[in-house]
A and B are shown apart, each in its own frame.
Chain A
Amino acid sequence: MEHALSLFVRSIFADNMIFAYFLGMCSYLAVSKNVKTSAGLGVAVTFVLVVTLPVNYLLQTLVLEPLHLEYLSFILFIAVIAAIVQLVEMVVEKYSPSLYAMIAVNCAIMGGSLFMQQRIGLPAVDPKAITSLGDAFMYALGSGLGWFLAIVCLAGIREKMEYNDVPKPLQGLGITFITVGLMTMFPNRCRDWASRSSPWASWRWRSCVSADWRSNRRTTL
Chain B
Amino acid sequence: MLSQKTKDTLLGPLNANNPVVVQILGICSALAVTVQLKPALVMGIAVTIIVAMSNVIVSLLRNTIPMRVRIIVQLVVVAALVTLVSEVLKAFAYDVAMQLSVYLGLIITNCILMGRLEAFAMTNNAWDSLLDGLGNGLGYAIILVIVAFVRELLGSGQLLGFQVIPQWCYDHGYENCGMMLMPAMALILVGCVIWVHRSINDKEAK
- A residues at B contact (CB < 8 Å): 19-26, 29-30, 71-75, 78-79, 82-83, 86, 100-101, 104-107, 109-111, 114-115, 118, 167-170, 173-178, 180-182, 184-185, 188, 208-210, 213-214, 217-218, 221
Identify 8 new A-B residue pairs, CB closer than 8 A, beyond the known A115-B102, A214-B156: A26-B26, A74-B83, A75-B76, A169-B202, A170-B194, A170-B195, A177-B187, A221-B33
Residue B24 at the chain A interface, CB threshold 8 Å: yes
- A and B contact pairs by CB, cutoff 8 A, 27 listed: A25-B28, A75-B76, A78-B108, A79-B72, A101-B114, A104-B71, A105-B75, A106-B109, A107-B109, A109-B109, A110-B106, A118-B101, A176-B191, A177-B194, A178-B192, A181-B187, A181-B188, A181-B191, A182-B184, A182-B188, A184-B184, A184-B187, A208-B178, A209-B179, A214-B181, A217-B35, A221-B33
Complex Cα distance, B86 from A208, in Å, reads 34
Tell me whether B24 and A173 are in contact (CB under 8 A). yes
The distance from the CB of A16 to the nearest CB of chain B, in whole angstroms, is 10
Tell me whether A107 and B191 are in contact (CB under 8 A). no
Tell me whether A217 and B191 are in contact (CB under 8 A). no
Chain B CB within 10 A, most for which of A20, A105, A173, A180: A105
Number of interface residues of B (CB under 8 A): 54
Q: Decide: A101 near B28, CB < 8 A? Known: A169-B199, A181-B191.
A: no
> Which residue in B183, B184, B188, B194 is a CB contact (below 8 Å) of A173?
B194
The distance from the CB of B28 to the nearest CB of chain A, in whole angstroms, is 4
Name which residue of chain A comes closest to B39, CB basis. A221
B175-206 contact mask (Cβ, 8 Å, vs A): 1 or 0: 00011011111111011101110110010000
The distance from the CB of B117 to the nearest CB of chain A, in whole angstroms, is 10
Residue B27 at the chain A interface, CB threshold 8 Å: yes
Tell me whether A26 and B25 are in contact (CB under 8 A). yes
Residue B57 at the chain A interface, CB threshold 8 Å: no
The distance from the CB of B177 to the nearest CB of chain A, in whole angstroms, is 8
Chain B CB within 10 A, most for which of A19, A110, A176: A110
Tell me whether B35 and A185 are in contact (CB under 8 A). no
The distance from the CB of B151 to the nearest CB of chain A, in whole angstroms, is 11
> Which residue in B78, B111, B184 is a CB contact (below 8 Å) of A188?
B184
Complex Cα distance, B198 from A20, in Å, reads 28
Residue B80 at the chain A interface, CB threshold 8 Å: yes
Tell me whether A78 and B24 are in contact (CB under 8 A). no
The distance from the CB of A215 to the nearest CB of chain B, in whole angstroms, is 11
Tell me whether A25 and B31 are in contact (CB under 8 A). yes
> Which residue in A20, A106, A168, A170 is a CB contact (below 8 Å) of B183?
A20
Residue B32 at the chain A interface, CB threshold 8 Å: yes
Q: Decide: A178 near B24, CB < 8 A? Known: A82-B72, A209-B178.
A: no
Name which residue of chain B comes closest to A176, CB basis. B191
Complex Cα distance, B99 from A74, in Å, reads 18
> Which residue in A23, A107, A178, A221 is a CB contact (below 8 Å) of B101?
A221
Q: B195 to chain A: which residues have CB within 8 Å?
A: 167, 169-170, 174
Tell me whether A114 and B102 are in contact (CB under 8 A). yes
Q: A104 to chain B: which residues have CB within 8 Å?
A: 71, 75
Q: Decide: A174 near B32, CB < 8 A? Known: A75-B76, A105-B109.
A: no
Q: A217 to chain B: which residues have CB within 8 Å?
A: 35, 181-182
> Which residue in B32, B79, B99 is a CB contact (below 8 Å) of A75?
B79
Name which residue of chain A comes closest to B198, CB basis. A169
Complex Cα distance, B108 from A72, in Å, reads 13
Q: B86 to chain A: which residues have CB within 8 Å?
A: 74
Chain B CB within 10 A, most for which of A78, A168, A214: A78
> Which residue in A19, A25, A177 is a CB contact (below 8 Å) of B191?
A177
The distance from the CB of B183 to the nearest CB of chain A, in whole angstroms, is 5
Residue B82 at the chain A interface, CB threshold 8 Å: yes
